[in-house]
């Protein structure tokens, strides 16, 4: 269930706008998307068998590559 006042909850149109701007290499939009998923990134990084900082970096890199991909398959 979504929290009413959760600052990470973003309306669909705003999310799509951020995503489109991130695809155009807008640094502010990229940082907002990373911040939006920060909790999930930190949670998943605990299950990767490497130092936490490396795991977080790897997840963020894959996330950015997914955003930049021409087509999502």
* CA 69 – CA 26 distance, rounded (Å): 15
* pLDDT computed for residue 10 by the predictor: 84
Tell me, yes or no, whether 1 lies in a domain: no
Q: How far apart are CA 21 and CA 4, in angstroms?
A: 26
Given a contact cutoff of 8 angstroms between Cβ atoms, the answer to whether 9 and 1 are in contact is no
pTM over cut 0.75:
yes
- What is the per-residue pLDDT for 9? 79
Q: Please report the pLDDT score of residue 69 as a whole number.
A: 87
Q: Could you list the pLDDT tens digit for every one of the 73 residues in the chain? A: 344 445 567 899 999 999 999 999 999 999 999 999 999 999 999 999 999 999 999 999 999 999 988 765 5
Question: Within a domain: residue 28?
Answer: yes
Looking at the domain assignment, is residue 7 inside a domain? no
The rounded distance, in Å, linking the Cα atoms of 38 and 35 is 5
- Give a yes or no: residue 2 inside a domain: no
Which residue, among 71, 64, 70, has the nearest Cα to 25 in the 3D structure?
64
Domain hosting 29: range is: 12-68
pLDDT of residue 14: 95
Q: How many domains would you assign to the chain?
A: 1
């Amino acid at each position: 269930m979504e929290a009413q006042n959760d600052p990470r909850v973003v309306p669909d149109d705003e999310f799509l706008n951020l995503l489109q701007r991130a695809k155009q290499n807008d640094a502010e939009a990229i940082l907002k998307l990373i911040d939006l998923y920060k909790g999930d990134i930190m949670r998943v990084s605990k299950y990767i068998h490497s130092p936490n900082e490396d795991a977080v970096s790897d997840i963020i890199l894959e996330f950015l590559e997914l955003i930049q991909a021409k087509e999502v398959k």
